[in-house]
Structure 1
Amino acid sequence: MDLKQLRALVTVAEVGSVTRAAEILHLVQPAVTRQIRTLEQEVGVPLFERTRHGMRPTEAGAHMVYRARRALHELERARAEIQPTPVAVSGPVTVGLLESVSDMLAEPLVSAVATEHPGIELRLVTAYSGHLRQWLDDEDLDLTLLYNLDNSQTLHTHSLVREGLWAVAPPTEKLLGDNPIPFAEVAKRRLVLPAAGHALRTLIDRAAGQAGIELEVAVQTNSMRVQKELVRAGHGWTILPGVGAADDAASGLLSAAPLCEPEIRRSVVLATPRGVRLPLAAQVVARSLIDQVHLAVTDGRWRSVQPSRYLG
């Protein structure tokens, strides 16, 4: 098993075609086919199914692709780290962004890194906090934004902001950002919420329990975009971080107001693995991400967080 075989395996899996993979790898098609067949002979199982729609990994192949991609990623990082007296920081860095803030932070982060450190290969992953935490624990991410993480034996965290949760309703409800709405009033409506166990849902359920309020959950979904679409369609109200509803409320697609009685807040942190030396490229990206959060707060783009709440 060698690097050429692993690169061929991953590339064919990504594009679904030996011909296209050969073009990307600057090889002839028979060479890529030979590398795949040699690898299959070595591991003793088929790695691809040849279908009319192209090359599709078998179950064993998908597992092999996952491991091969991680191995290649680590080798790329090692090569970047051991280059003697590098003139610039370089290497791959995989960053997790909360779905609620990805629209606000992704492009500024990419622009800043590309301008200051063009040798860094930035990879962005967006998801809910629970998924990002799992991927960081599995070492699929170098760093990530998380929320409501008070302490952890496996992660180092840097506090960034505290943000209030907002009630989000169809525009006909005419909720206003400068007119907070009591949590008990929101609880009278059918709600579209994340599934139980999700960090945001846990925060909402905890507040309801402390207030002695029972919630009527009409729909559960793991997508913030779907939450907002269902609210627009009249299936109920939802509760989101203010940043997740601000643009839709400003454009009239939804109406939204901060929760009160009680005010519910989430804390956003930057998390990295504890006890692991963070590569220089990842350190640079971490600092840039902190800067972008600070800028988003101070210039008013993160409207649900006051500048005085910035904790970085």
Structure 2
Amino acid sequence: MVDDNSHSPRFGYKSDRLKPLRAFCQVARLGSVSRAAEALYLSQPAITLQLQALERELGVRLFERTGRRLTPTREGDALYELARPLVEGIDALPAAFREQIRGLDAGELHVAAGSSTILYLLPKIVEAYRKAHPEVRLILHNVTGAGGLDQLRKDEVDLAVGSMLEVPGDIDYAPVYRFEPMLIAPPNHPLATKPDLKLEDLSPYGLILPPQRLTTYRLVDLVFQQNRVPYTVALEVGGWEVIKQYVAMGLGISIVTSICLTDADRTRLAARSLAKYFPSRSYGVVMRKGKYLSQQARDFVALIQPQILAPREYDETGHSGR
């Protein structure tokens, strides 16, 4: 190795820093100029010249010989720590670029939805979409109704799936599914089998409802107020799974949408239709008006069909018809 001062003439190799850095990293890794030359399909003199150019440029000795092996000096070790990730990153660039291009060709799909939609409505749709389009990167954004509209307006998502009671003028809403309002109670509750269930029958029992800011709470309050029926709220808690669990524990009764009732709930809950008093809830596709849907988004929308996940039907006594 050379130990020239900073006034040494410039080498042509300096114009391409990658070559001497790649040669340096291979020598540091393999401990030999000849083995580095074989790894890089270059001649030994070419490797030596590249190392000389690098030492001249940096003004330090990078290797010392230990027996038959070249060992990095202290400065060589420092340079290796800096250069190795750079060289490896550059060498991996073509493959990474091809992978990125494949990702661009496949595309991404951003879908906004609330927790209940993601949990109860979308699993089969997402499963079908992933099978049909495994190359597309699908991102589900868990949002509230207002948050989903905000993302739509900012074009942060391609579309949303959920329920809407009021549709703003800049939004298109295409309802696909309809789900009944249901009273849920423990199986041994007096309302579980009471004939000719009326809204007034709910008054003596505390309701477990979502937080007041959510649509479900406001809708329940509106219906009771319109019918001039008093009611009490025993507990406010977010998430239908939590509400169902608390109802099953006997902490109160609740009014939910049948979308959240699963086969597993049949043994722990009694469900009674309240369609006589509460409107059914629709779920469907929400888009910003004038929004161009990509092919990925159109393929996803095409899978949102009622036959994929139909509402569960209940008879008057609260038993599932399916």
- Residue in structure 1 matching 2:312, options 299, 303, 309: 303
- Residue in structure 2 matching 1:268, options 257, 264, 283: 283
1:247 matched residue in structure 2: 263
Quote the offset at 1:131 in angstroms. Answer: 4.5
Is 1:223 the equivalent of 2:232? no
1:143 matched residue in structure 2: 159
Does the CA-based 8 Å contact 2:184-2:255 persist in structure 1? yes
Alpha-carbon spacing, 1:112–1:249, altered in 2? closer, same or farther (3 Å):
closer
Quote the offset at 1:305 in angstroms. Answer: 9.1
Cα RMSD for the two superposed structures: 3.5
Measured in 1, the distance between the counterparts of 2:181 and 2:134 equals 37
1:284 matched residue in structure 2: 299
Measured in 2, the distance between the counterparts of 1:146 and 1:178 equals 33
Deviations, residues 213-243 of structure 1 (Å, cap 9, x unaligned): 2321121122222212221222211110012
| Rg (Cα) greater in structure | 2
Does the CA-based 8 Å contact 1:94-1:143 persist in structure 2? yes
* SS of match in other structure, 1:172: coil
Measured in 2, the distance between the counterparts of 1:92 and 1:29 equals 36
Greater mean deviation of Cα atoms: 261-270 or 179-188: 179-188
Greater mean deviation of Cα atoms: 222-231 or 97-106: 97-106
Q: Please tell me the residue identity of whatever aligns with 1:152.
A: P
Is 1:162 the equivalent of 2:178? yes
Measured in 2, the distance between the counterparts of 1:152 and 1:137 equals 11
Q: How many residues align?
A: 223
1:97-136 to 2 correspondence within 5 Å? 97-126=113-142, 129-136=145-152
1:65 matched residue in structure 2: none
- Residue in structure 2 matching 1:256, options 268, 271, 276: 271
1:93 matched residue in structure 2: 109
Name stretches of at least 5 consecutive residues in structure 2 with no aligned partner: 1-79, 87-99, 316-322
Please list every run of at least 4 consecutive aligned residues from structure 1 whose deviation after the TM superposition is greater than 6 angstroms. 28-31, 177-180
Greater mean deviation of Cα atoms: 158-167 or 254-263: 254-263
Deviations, residues 143-196 of structure 1 (Å, cap 9, x unaligned): 222223342222211121222110111222276699773222223310111111
* SS of match in other structure, 2:268: coil
Measured in 1, the distance between the counterparts of 2:272 and 2:81 equals 58
2:254 matched residue in structure 1: 238
Does the CA-based 8 Å contact 2:115-2:143 persist in structure 1? yes
1:152 matched residue in structure 2: 168
Q: Please tell me the residue identity of whatever aligns with 2:201.
A: E
Measured in 2, the distance between the counterparts of 1:136 and 1:294 equals 27
Does the CA-based 8 Å contact 1:195-1:220 persist in structure 2? yes
Q: Normalising by structure 2, what TM-score?
A: 0.59
Q: Please tell me the residue identity of whatever aligns with 1:215.
A: Y
Alpha-carbon spacing, 1:121–1:264, altered in 2? closer, same or farther (3 Å):
same
Name stretches of at least 5 consecutive residues in structure 1 with no aligned partner: 1-27, 35-75, 84-89, 307-312
2:188 matched residue in structure 1: 172
Greater mean deviation of Cα atoms: 150-159 or 187-196: 150-159
* SS of match in other structure, 2:180: strand
* SS of match in other structure, 2:259: helix
Q: Which fold has the larger relative contact order, with Cα–Cα distance below 8 Å and residues 6 or more apart in sequence? A: 1
Is 1:198 the equivalent of 2:207? no
Measured in 1, the distance between the counterparts of 2:175 and 2:308 equals 15
Measured in 2, the distance between the counterparts of 1:104 and 1:179 equals 30
